[in-house]
Amino acid sequence: MSDLFIIGASGTRAYRSAMAAIAENISNASTEGYARRSVTTIESGASTATMSLYISRANFGGTQVAGVNRASDPYLDASVRNTGMALGSATSRLRWLSDAENAMNDSSTGVGQLMIGMFQNMEKLAASPTDTSLRVTTLDSISRVAQAFNQTATDLKTVSEGIATEAKASVATINQSLDALADINNSLLRAQPGTSAYAQLLDSRDSALQTLSQNMNITVSFGTNDSAIVSFGDQTLVSGNAATNVALTANSNGTLSFGLADGTALGAPANGTLGGLFSAANTVTQRRTSLDTLAAQFATDVNAWHAQGVTDGGTAGAALLSGTTAASLAALVTDPAQLATRSSDGTLNGNLLTVSSVLRGNGSVEQNWTSIIAQQATLLSSTKAEFDTATSRNDQAVAAREAVSGVDLDLEAADLLRIQQAYSASAKILQVAKETLDSIMNII
């Protein structure tokens, strides 16, 4: 009779644990990073031999909970980390390369279009070199091109500063995840595997690893009690309960440098959000350098063209522009009488007629600007395609993992009905055992 009580009581305990797991699944169905829980039960054996003259026999002693299982697949988890890493890189590069393209401004107020307008004004002036209003317009158009260089330099610098700010935020997130992962490892080493608390720690561990992989290309392995070991290149960042923080430096030219918090230099991240930011920072720095080169060439070419001409007063053309960078470029001449429209032989529009051969054509600022704009457009287009591919792959990887780890409320409802019936059956065993014992006692 005692066996019936043991069997019934063990059943109610086991199925109560199973119902608790289902309730936890239902309440966390929408929780990101949550892996479905299930309870495994096993047969419990019990020996009834209590006297030396009796033969020892092992009898069925009901059921017991073997452990709380967490639905997960290490391969699928690693796949999501890898696709998330690629998506993080593509997302950050797409954002900042788009901002860089906007900063370069190929619209009517940008360097290229204003330069075309400048040449058109020079052509108009060549047709009427004594027209003062056209002279004023030409000088103004030269000044506007210089101002466009100034504005583009400012806007690209703002993009570099924005990249640096986001990169620092990414590093802060990385360090928080590294510290959290070390704490989780410490708890995992102390926790009992197969418990609900242990499963929750594994969820937290995987969430921290996902955040880390989204931000930078890390290598992950697992040690005792599923504790995570995180490395970047040859540097171990997390092992056991010890974490090593990283740091970032924004250089004056817009590039970024990466290292440990103690000052040890590390290679630039190649993937993840931070890797994408490093790549975008390098690209924007290249654009800023190219812009400065073009500005210097523009000043040199325009000044050289003007110097070969002669003013109405018979003097050689003075420098129209100053500055050696896009930010420092400035127009110098505002007096229309100082515009050297004549050639050395005295032709009124002689110098203006050389504009196309001196300032335009192969190797000119106009052509080089078009080349830079085309390079940026091509890079942005390929980045958009990469972003679309990375998004699709990440969605597929997440869907595959959710098929294993995710919670299906319909299945949980069906399991709940099944477990409730099993619990009721176990309770019925207890009731029958009590009634049987009462009947025996009444007979006695």
Identify whether residues 139 and 224 lie together within a single domain.
Answer: yes
List of the chain residues with pLDDT < 70 = 1-2, 45-61
pLDDT at 3: 73
* pTM of structure: 0.89
pLDDT at 56: 54
Identify whether residues 151 and 297 lie together within a single domain.
Answer: yes
Q: Which residues contact 168 (CB under 8 A, 6 or more apart)?
A: 248, 250
Contact 55, 46 (CB under 8 A): no
Nearest CA among 50, 343, 40 for reference residue 199: 40
Q: Is residue 410 part of a domain?
A: yes
Rounded-to-integer distance, Cα 36 and Cα 401, Å: 11
Identify whether residues 62 and 88 lie together within a single domain.
Answer: no
Q: Which two tokens stand for residue 359?
A: 């300032």
pLDDT at 179: 97
Taking CA atoms, 127 is separated from 239, 346, 348, 353, 391, in Å, by 77, 16, 10, 9, 57
Q: Which two tokens stand for residue 347?
A: 């032709």
- Domain residues for the domain of 43 are 2-71+406-443
How many domains would you assign to the chain? 2
pLDDT at 47: 47
Q: Is residue 413 part of a domain?
A: yes
Identify whether residues 249 and 332 lie together within a single domain.
Answer: yes
Q: Is residue 28 part of a domain?
A: yes
pLDDT at 93: 98
What's the number of CA atoms in the CB half-sphere (13 Å) around residue 177?
25
pLDDT at 233: 92
pLDDT at 321: 97
Identify whether residues 119 and 216 lie together within a single domain.
Answer: yes
Q: Is residue 399 part of a domain?
A: no
Q: pLDDT per residue over 161-198, tens digit each?
A: 999 999 999 999 999 999 999 999 999 999 999 898 99
Identify whether residues 268 and 177 lie together within a single domain.
Answer: yes
Q: Is residue 401 part of a domain?
A: no
pLDDT at 252: 94
Identify whether residues 320 and 296 lie together within a single domain.
Answer: yes
Contact 234, 241 (CB under 8 A): no
Identify whether residues 355 and 371 lie together within a single domain.
Answer: yes
- Looking at 394, 419, 435, the residue that finishes a domain is 394
Identify whether residues 192 and 66 lie together within a single domain.
Answer: no
pLDDT at 440: 80
Q: Is residue 84 part of a domain?
A: yes
pLDDT at 46: 58
Identify whether residues 103 and 193 lie together within a single domain.
Answer: yes
Q: Is residue 400 part of a domain?
A: no
Identify whether residues 58 and 145 lie together within a single domain.
Answer: no
DSSP, residue by residue, 221-262: EE-GGG-EEEEETTEEEEETTEE--EEEEE-TTS-EEEEETT
Identify whether residues 118 and 59 lie together within a single domain.
Answer: no
As a dihedral over the C-alpha atoms of residue 272, residue 276, residue 277, residue 281, rounded to 10 degrees, the angle is 160
